[in-house]
Amino acid sequence: MEILIDSANLESIRELNDLYPIDGVTTNPTIVVKEKRTFLPLLKEIQSIIGEEKMLFAQVLGEQAEDMVKEASYLNEEINGNFYVKIPVTDEGIKAIKLLKLQGIKTLATTIYTPLQAFIAAKAGAEYVAPYVNRIDNLAGNGVQVVSDIIKIFEHHHLPCKVLAASFKNTQQVHHVCLEGAHGVTAAPEIIKSFTAHPSTETNVRQFMNEWKSFYGESSNSIIKKN
């Protein structure tokens, strides 16, 4: 399963990419605006941190298919490497996904709230769909169930599109979409950091170190020195 950072903050991306087995970065207009940076140079700097082999996603702003295609083509020319264009699943967005598929430009269908939206986007040629788990929950829906239904539809109809679950407020939601077979998750830096955080782990590590130091009187590089 793929793990992506849902952020455009360079410091956070650099830290998480260094620590964890990260597969890429997703951005959206809201995330980019928060950084108060020029859009294209920011994307290129993100790519310089993660490398060209890892995935980078950026979203178009046009409302008509022709505008989306122009923006996507421009971004695809400017950004090298493993780049994907995020397209919203409006009627015009579905048309844009079809046109971009013909051009060989990789897309992610975003703002997914229903399984049928995902199905249509996959049929149109999207490589990924991004169901909004927590936002669906906030509308009295069941985000995890939507992810599960999308996966089943793709499997039953042999669609090669992947499900990249998005919009999380806690690790429990991530845990559940993992169990349902999501192909990947994209989450904010603080959510990703919480994947490995547990107070008992920290307590155990401190206990191990204290017991070691009580006997050897050392901590850092103790094993190397003793050998």
Residue 48 Ramachandran class (φ > 0 left, ψ -120 to 50 alpha, else beta):
alpha
Q: Which residue carries 């790519």 as its tokens?
A: 47
Give the span between the Cα atoms of 82 and 66, in whole angstroms.
Answer: 23
Active site residue 86: yes
Amino acid at 128: Y
Q: Which of 34, 70, 86, 225 is catalytic?
A: 86
Q: Where is 58: in which H helix or E strand?
A: strand 55-59
Long-range contacts from 156-159, C-beta under 8 angstroms, 24+ separation: 157/119, 159/119, 159/122, 159/123
Q: How far apart are CA 157 and CA 123, in angstroms?
A: 10
Q: Can you state the percent helix, strand and coil of the chain, rounding each to 5? A: 55, 15, 30
User: In the block, which residue shows the tokens 């991004």?
Assistant: 130
- The answer to whether 132 and 109 have CB atoms below 8 angstroms apart is no
Active site residues: 86
